[in-house]
Structure 1
Amino acid sequence: MEAGGGDAAQPETGKEGGQASRGVGTAPKSRSWAEVAKGVPRQSAWTSHRMPPRVLEMLRSTSAEVVDVPEEELEGSRAEWQSTTVIVRSLGRPVPIDWVAREFKRVGRLDYNVECFSLMDGFIAVRFAKEEDREAALKNGPWSVAGQLLAMERWRPNFVPGVGGIDRVVVWLRLPRLPLDYWRRETILRIAASAGNPLAVDGFTEQGGRYGFARVKVELNVSNPLKPGILVRGKYGGAEETFWQGFIYENLPAPCSRCGRIGHSSSECGYPSSVGWRGGTGSGPREGEGRYRGGSPGG
């Protein structure tokens, strides 16, 4: 069973619970006070509680009214979160916080229950009992709950959900069709570094037990465009040869086909088109390369 909010229910006609169709001249049924009281509350014009970045910057430079909070006043509350807490968000559908808590406890083999607190806009605060448990969680991964990949960063002061981004994610990166003479740990890490920050090589790759593709754990910043691959140049007999090395990101949602970022579709994209993506120019991946395993399409 996968978590996630469904599409908003559309009003139906002629069915119980929906908007029943009325014949001409039929008087509307009066509602009791109890029915009125249980109705949908009136929504404020400021329902999102968000301030667009441009407006916020303008207010910072022009508004004379601001609440100053002394740092010493915040020291106590910050100490409760500073060394033991991470902020998590799903890169796909929302996941229940109790599932997240159970997964951290299971993978970390912890002898206590991790605390999870639901924030706004899909963000979750996860608090461990010890700093070393938090640091171990950051080094582990990739973290996936109910098939949804999680982005995770250390909690930081003044973090505002939905405004401060959580963009660090650990994924497995595949290098398909890697030539046999490039199958060295330092060479594999060198190539993977063009996609993100390489953290480790998996056991099969390290031991040379599988040569279909190399597999590297990398740290990505998903606010940046994802690379579908990279050109690799090597010398042999004094001559240079260049080939295209495609990338496969395991369990990442498919990126926007226009800009290469995840989290939105091409119809919603506000970024300029990136070279090398579908419809772009330059050297692109062969069929089967530059793919994203899992997730839902982003464009």
Structure 2
Amino acid sequence: MEADSESNEEVEDIREGFASISLSKETKQHIRAPWAKALIIKVFGKTVGYNYLYSKFLGLWKPSGRVDMVDLGRDFFLLRFSILEDLEMVLKKGPWFIREHFMSIRRWEANFKPSEALVSSAIVWVRLNKLPIEYYDATLLRQIGQVLRKILRVDMHMAMEAKGRYACLCIQVDMSRPLSTIVRIGQCSQPIVYEGVNKLCFSCG
């Protein structure tokens, strides 16, 4: 998307009977700017009505600002946030479910067509239970997350409770690939717990 927005020219073979216009870099930036704080969402395994889904979103996320929703067709919905912090909260605090059905969430992208869209990634939380104390380092935890997948956020919990210490990593996983269950950190083998993905099939989505 970034490379496309920098281009001033669009080269395309036009067949007879087709018309074409070229979009300048400025035009692209102008028409795409209103959607910079938007997400594309799809609920798996269930067709959900517009009004029901919109009320569920407001109840789940309790946004501070305004949220507008557009039905894109084929069970895809676009949500545009007025406040960036609301959008980032949705991205980083998942995964989200509607009546046990997983919600795929992605940032809005230019030229998105529901009829051609493939959902191949999901945002999930990974828990590292009872991680040895010396590994509670923000830089090291980010390295662990990058080994697993694309990392979005790191949370460290040090409270000495019945559950013990743990660290949480928010990562974006590829739904077409098997998940790692153990990560090797030096000489330490650390089990990985994925929150919520027991409800999601990584063979068919």
Aligned residue number for residue 193 of structure 1: 146
Aligned residue number for residue 104 of structure 2: 151
Q: Deviations over 1:144-196 (max 9, x none)?
A: 322223222222221111423454532221235x4535552445444343222
d(CA) in 1 for partners of 2:136, 2:179: 22
Aligned residue number for residue 225 of structure 1: 177
d(CA) in 2 for partners of 1:180, 1:154: 35
AA of the residue aligned to 2:97: S
CA 1:139–1:231 in structure 2 vs 1: closer, same or farther (change >3 Å)?
closer
Q: In structure 2, which of residues 173, 192, 197 is the aligned counterpart of residue 247 of structure 1?
A: 192
More strand by share: 2
Q: Deviations over 1:86-116 (max 9, x none)?
A: 1111244344333432243234434666332
AA of the residue aligned to 2:202: P
The TM-score, its normalising length taken from structure 2, stands at 0.67
Q: Which structure is larger by alpha-carbon Rg, 1 or 2?
A: 1
Query: Which SS does the other structure have where 1:225 is aligned?
Result: coil
d(CA) in 1 for partners of 2:87, 2:14: 39
**Per-residue deviation at 1:67?**
4.0
Q: In structure 1, which of residues 138, 148, 152 is the aligned counterpart of residue 91 of structure 2?
A: 138
d(CA) in 1 for partners of 2:84, 2:163: 39
Q: How many residues align?
A: 188
Query: Which SS does the other structure have where 1:249 is aligned?
Result: strand
d(CA) in 1 for partners of 2:90, 2:152: 17
**Per-residue deviation at 1:216?**
1.3
CA contact (8 A) 1:174 1:216 kept: yes
Q: CA RMSD in A?
A: 3.7
Aligned residue number for residue 83 of structure 1: 36
Structure-to-structure mapping, 1:53-132, within 5 angstroms: 64-65=15-16, 66-71=18-23, 78-79=32-33, 81-110=34-63, 114-132=67-85
CA 1:132–1:181 in structure 2 vs 1: closer, same or farther (change >3 Å)?
closer
AA of the residue aligned to 1:255: F
d(CA) in 1 for partners of 2:143, 2:29: 42
* Gapped regions of structure 2 (runs ≥ 5): 1-11
Q: In structure 2, which of residues 126, 131, 136 is the aligned counterpart of residue 184 of structure 1?
A: 136
CA contact (8 A) 1:180 1:211 kept: no
CA 1:188–1:62 in structure 2 vs 1: closer, same or farther (change >3 Å)?
closer
Q: Deviations over 1:119-156 (max 9, x none)?
A: 23321111233455434433443333222232222222
Question: After the TM superposition, which segments of 4 or more aligned residues of structure 1 sit over 6 Å from their partners?
Answer: 72-76
CA 1:93–1:183 in structure 2 vs 1: closer, same or farther (change >3 Å)?
farther
AA of the residue aligned to 2:191: G
d(CA) in 2 for partners of 1:231, 1:111: 37
Identity over aligned pairs, percent: 20
CA 1:107–1:185 in structure 2 vs 1: closer, same or farther (change >3 Å)?
farther
CA 1:99–1:194 in structure 2 vs 1: closer, same or farther (change >3 Å)?
farther
d(CA) in 2 for partners of 1:135, 1:144: 17
More helix by share: 2
d(CA) in 1 for partners of 2:99, 2:37: 24
